Structure 1
Amino acid sequence: MTDSARIVRRHPDELVIGLVSVSDRASAGVYEDQGLPALREWLGSALASPWQAVERLIPDERERISQALIELVDDNGCDLVLTTGGTGPARRDVTPEATLAVGTREMPGFGEQMRQISLRFVPTAILSRQVAVIRETRSHAALIVNLPGQPKAIRETLEGLKSEDGAVLAPGIFAAIPYCIDLIGGPYAETRPEVIAAFRPKSARRQARG
């Protein structure tokens, strides 16, 4: 299978996820990438329904990032694309611009919530420029979300923050992602509630089997 081949779903509800790590040095082999392993590990712990991933490790180059996102959605048929890295104010940080360039609709709530979570730890969270968009083609649509670059921050923004007794202090953004994918025509994804409870209105929930 080539990188541009459409992914074959092994189950009707299988979620196809594009994972993109943006880093000049990691893509050049200067150091080992941490973003892709962190994303794989978290998704493996959080998703209760079937999924498979298509991965890219690319440098901080706007055209390369945009092209990767287009290929993952249009050619590979990803339902969700998660990027990590390249969202700060440095001049080489161009992931948000590359993402906005390929989106057909912006989803500002994701970036707002990610910054709210990070602000609980560092005041420099306001320097983060993560965005989220929907990319639509004639027959397919996908949600694309920029995540932070550090594994700890990736987990916190996806999963949210909980107190020692398990109470939710700040909702993670992944709680809204399965329903968003429903609304744009993607598969019905389910999560493990002990990690992150996906929220859907009652009218959108499937009846429990058995």
Structure 2
Amino acid sequence: MTTTTATAASSSLPALPATPEPVKIGVVSISDRASTGVYVDKGLPALKEWLTQALHNPITFEERLIPDDRDGISAALIELVDAGCSLVLTTGGTGPAPRDVTPEATLAVADKEMPGFGEQMRQISLTFVPTAILSRQVAVIRGQSLIINLPGQPKAIAETLEGLKAEDGTQKVNGIFAAVPYCIDLIGGPYLETRDAVCKGFRPKTAVRVRA
């Protein structure tokens, strides 16, 4: 829910600043071939473009393009969390192939697992391809950061983040990003403000803040 809707329940919360709060976001593309220059990485540009369109908040991106190495992935995630990234999104390495180790590397650095994100991503992708059942994306909390594994293809990234809309433009299936702002609220992060035309974030009425 955006901050344009005032509610009586939200009056006890601190008022929002005059402009949206800055946020630092980590984006990680995981691919042996892209990281060695065999082909051009498309994951990082797709993540940055979508987030820039979806959020009103000024974003500082921390980018990583790394190979499919479990220890290296875990180290990069820890580094991004320690650097102050409230949200870290990864793309690639979530299938069943021997080199697909992103979920294992992510779980290795977790304080808490958030299984609903992976469950919803697979449900969305299954409306397009039956092989979505092979995807193993996970999401976790580490400290005050939310880490989410996303699919490897830019189109699938947008679909899982935004969800599915009906022909009349109404939301048919919620994307996972609708729950991200409130999750980050709950772990002590910045107040993310979404652009409804891209993805409408949801908060309970008691968690909605308004501008003074």
- For residue 177 of structure 2, give the secondary structure of its aligned residue in structure 1: helix
Q: CA deviation digits over 1:133-183, x for unaligned, max 9?
A: 0002xxxx1000000000000000001110121111110100000000000
Contact preservation (8 Å) 2:20, 2:58:
no
Does structure 1 residue 42 correspond to structure 2 residue 45? no
Report the AA paired with residue 23 of structure 1: S
Give the C-alpha shift of residue 208 in structure 1.
3.9
C-alpha distance in 2 between matches for 1:118 and 1:102: 26
C-alpha distance in 2 between matches for 1:119 and 1:23: 23
CA root-mean-square deviation = 1.1
Percent pairwise identity: 73
Call closer, same or farther: CA 1:121–1:12 in 2, change over 3 Å.
Answer: closer
Q: Number of aligned pairs?
A: 194
Query: Of the two structures, which has the highest relative contact order with CA contacts closer than 8 Å and spacing of 6 or more?
Result: 2
- Counterpart residue number, 1:106: 113
Does structure 1 residue 164 correspond to structure 2 residue 167? yes
Does structure 1 residue 29 correspond to structure 2 residue 32? no
Does structure 1 residue 79 correspond to structure 2 residue 112? no
Q: TM-score, normalised by structure 1?
A: 0.90
Q: List runs of 5+ in structure 1 lacking aligned partners.
A: 1-10
- Counterpart residue number, 2:151: 148
- Counterpart residue number, 1:3: none
C-alpha distance in 2 between matches for 1:112 and 1:91: 22
Report the AA paired with residue 93 of structure 1: D
- For residue 52 of structure 1, give the secondary structure of its aligned residue in structure 2: strand
- 1:176 is aligned, of 179, 198, 201, to 179
Q: CA deviation digits over 1:61-89, x for unaligned, max 9?
A: 00000000000001x11100000000000
Moved beyond 3 Å, runs of 4+ = none
Give the C-alpha shift of residue 49 in structure 1.
1.7
Contact preservation (8 Å) 1:100, 1:133:
yes
C-alpha distance in 1 between matches for 2:61 and 2:110: 20
- Counterpart residue number, 1:92: 99
Q: TM-score, normalised by structure 2?
A: 0.90
Give the C-alpha shift of residue 50 in structure 1.
1.7
Contact preservation (8 Å) 1:45, 1:195:
yes
- For residue 108 of structure 2, give the secondary structure of its aligned residue in structure 1: helix
Q: List runs of 5+ in structure 2 lacking aligned partners.
A: 1-18
